[in-house]
Amino acid sequence: MPAYQVKVKWGKELYPDIELDTGEPPMVFRAQLFALTGVQPQRQKIMLKGATIREDSWDGLKIKNGVTILMMGSKEEDVPVEPTEKTAFIEDLSEAERNTMLQLPVGIKNLGNTCYLNAVIQCLKTVPELHTTVKEFKPKRPGGAADSSASSSLLTLVEVESGSLLTLAIQDCYRTMDSGKTAVPLVLVNLFRSTFPRFAEQGEQGMYMQQDASECWTELMRLLMQEVPAKDSSKTHKSFSSSLIDQFFCGEHVSEWKCGESEEEEVVHKTDKFQQLMCHINQDVKYLHTGLVARMQEQITKRSELLDRDAVYTKKSKISRLPAYLAVQMIRFFYKEKEAVNAKILKDVKFPIILDVFDLCTPELQKKLTPIREKYKDMDERQIEEERALKRGKPLAPEDKPRTRALPFSFEDDYGSNNSGFYKLQAVLTHQGRSSSSGHYVAWVRWKGNEWLKCDDDDVTSVTEEDILKLSGGGDWHCAYILLYGPRILEVVEDLKPVDEVKMEAE
């Protein structure tokens, strides 16, 4: 469908030469007007020759170059305040008004099959170190260092590399959300599609197609690894000090490759980095841990130089470095050649709130993890006693609870690592549908304590931890596709010895 140059009249203002692309949904045009005028899309009434333009379709409108479109609506700050306050009942409020009253975080507007990107952005926002660093991000000039004098306005950054521009677009999205306003990510979506053209694929009707959230996750992580600098890199193992993503999301595993068809061929040992663990799913896998273990020992066919032909190798892997934040992908899609689609495995695979990966680690790493792990037993016993007291109807008084402090979750000489092997679930990215290139993606994120939020684009609602555990699959309901685990924070009674003393005693 063609793009037109139109005029937009808003009150006394006239904006000439505005591009209107009827190949995009009308919400994209509303987002453009929001960027020009500051009038939120939901407050806009847009008319063409007396006909109101709908939010979801251009049908019935005769648009041509030079036509004048009328927009009505005012900025929130321009709305007059009534002199008397009316009683407001929560059931009469809109979703956005309820979220404001309940102080719920806000979401991200869907600009036409962009739920996969929205869900990834919401999940990554739960990592405080990444959230803070992106908000403080300064763009780089081509071939140069960060420019601290550069404006944060995306429109003024004409000399900035595309990767930095896209990072700034994520920054703008986070800042908007943190201010309590729903993000309308027009710039982010356009930059994402231009930076990664395969996500700009269009269907027969000219609409942008749904994309795979896992592929989106991978591309954004690769981008942020290049753009977001490391924190306290001098305290990080040199192999993981190149960027914040390297520090907090990258692990390391050692693998052993043994040829099953030749006793003479030497066993090969390799060391590789990873950003995700994969959960293998078959008829025997009912739990996440089982799928992870299955992936750590695989039969792989590759060429044998000794035999001068393809041969079957057994690959055994163990983790030698754990990142602070562990992403786990559920291998739910496989390619069906006949239908030419990535079909979905709907099998129910249970995942825990607290994940322990100790047995997936090398003996050397297990030895390093053990001193801290012993201290979690004390914390668990205190929590169990508090829960028992609550069930008896006699909760512990604040003065009866011991004063505690949080210990670092990283090794002292490897900032951004995990020093215990324990993780706590903090975000789930789900898919609803039968193919990765169709259906709908949603982010479910931990909010406060055991309270969670369902972030369905710009619709954000409160859910329970029980609701999260129902995302394990088994039907056409939302199925967990990517699990994001963060460090399980160790709280110790204040008079206990510091972690460095515990380490010395263990040695």
Q: Which residues are catalytic?
A: 115, 440
Q: Which residue, among 483, 242, 502, 226, has the nearest Cα to 357 in the 3D structure?
A: 483
| C-alpha torsion angle, residues 99, 129, 322, 488 (rounded to 10) | -50
**Integer CA distances (angstroms), 474 to 216, 277, 348, 454, 496, in order:** 25, 22, 4, 20, 45
- Residue by residue, what is the 3-state secondary structure of 442-476? EEEEEEECCEEEEEECCEEEEECHHHHHHHHCCCC
Residue 266 token pair:
């030497």
CB 20 within 8 A of CB 33: no
* C-beta contacts of 254-259 below 8 A and 24+ residues apart: 254/317, 254/318, 254/320, 254/362, 255/315, 255/316, 255/317, 255/318, 256/315, 256/316, 256/317, 257/313, 257/314, 257/315, 258/313, 258/314, 258/316, 259/304, 259/306, 259/307, 259/311, 259/312, 259/313
Non-local (6+) Cβ contacts of 365 within 8 A are 318, 319, 320, 321, 322
* Residue carrying structure tokens 């939010």: 55
DSSP string, 222-272: HHHHHHSPPSSGGGS-GGG-S-HHHHHH-EEEEEEEEETT-SSSPPEEEEE
* C-beta contacts of 303-306 below 8 A and 24+ residues apart: 304/259, 304/261, 304/262, 304/265, 306/259, 306/262, 306/264, 306/265
Q: Find the helix or strand (DSSP H, E) in which 423 lies.
A: strand 422-432
Q: Which residue, among 77, 63, 78, has the nearest Cα to 22 in the 3D structure?
A: 63
Residue 464 token pair:
């329970």
Residue 346 token pair:
């709907």
* Residue carrying structure tokens 């959300």: 177
Q: How far, in Å, CA of 354 to CA of 469, rounded?
A: 12
**Integer CA distances (angstroms), 132 to 149, 217, 244, 264, in order:** 19, 19, 11, 53
* Residue carrying structure tokens 């990517």: 482
